[in-house]
Amino acid sequence: MNNYCFDLNIPVPHPLADPSVLTWEKELEPNIWWADKDNVSKEFTEFLDSIGLTMTYPILLFYTPERQGIPIHIDGPSVCDRAVMNWCVDGAGSEMLWYQLKDDALTDIKETTAGTPYTRYTDDQVIFLHSQPVRWPSIVQTGIPHKVTNYGLEKRWVLSCDLSLKSDPGKGLTWEQAKEIFKSWML
């Protein structure tokens, strides 16, 4: 097992209550947007509750057209340890890639279309570590530089669920916490 991605088989058909929110009319443009905070399926909410978890934020949706990608970035202002549950729809052949930041890399903090902070990096600022497809779902590390390639013929959506312990609902999960919590459902 690596430290960047592991796949799960959990007893939940879909994290969204209303998947019609995945609609995005500008098919050739990437996009990031929030689902409504109440748009979480009953099964997912109950599953999280049963294992002592809650959603940190609403579900964040990422759309990447075919033959495109998401450049190297961190979901926040600096390197950290953040394990997130991502559900990938379509995007056959797409992969998520992880990188180590070189010590001298300058930061370039921007904002996504969803208003979330992200820090962009160029190829020469990072060292490749690992690549793997995201499944339905996978736990992924988003606190270190990563990017997505979707160079095949399918559009790709990711439903990203940032989870927290009910006892500390704003904090998110570390990699070690996520491994421990989800060990029974790992593939």
Shortest reach from residue 75's CB to Fe ion, in Å: 4
Shortest reach from residue 9's CB to Fe ion, in Å: 23
In the window 5-64, what residues touch Fe ion (CB under 5 A)?
none
162 forms part of the interface with Fe ion (CB under 5 A): no
Pick one of 6, 59, 75, 140: the residue that binds Fe ion (CB under 5 A). Answer: 75
Number of residues that bind Fe ion (CB under 5 A): 2
Cα distances (angstroms) measured from residue 151 to each of 20, 65, 67, 132: 25, 9, 4, 14
Give the sign of the dihedral formed by CA 47, CA 53, CA 56, CA 61.
Answer: negative
Token pair listed for 23: 């609609």
CA–CA gap between residue 63 and residue 28 (Å, rounded)? 10
Q: Which is nearer to Fe ion, 52 or 128 (CB)?
A: 128
C-beta neighbour count of 116 within 10 angstroms: 14
CA–CA gap between residue 74 and residue 117 (Å, rounded)? 9
Shortest reach from residue 118's CB to Fe ion, in Å: 7
Q: Which is nearer to Fe ion, 66 or 75 (CB)?
A: 75
Shortest reach from residue 170's CB to Fe ion, in Å: 19
Cβ(158)–Cβ(61) below 8 Å:
yes
Residue of minimal Cβ distance to Fe ion: 75
Listed ranges 18-26, 35-43, 51-59, 135-143: which one lies at the site for Fe ion (CB under 5 A): 135-143
C-beta neighbour count of 180 within 10 angstroms: 10
Shortest reach from residue 11's CB to Fe ion, in Å: 27
Residue type, 15: P
Residue numbers at the binding site for Fe ion (CB under 5 A): 75, 142
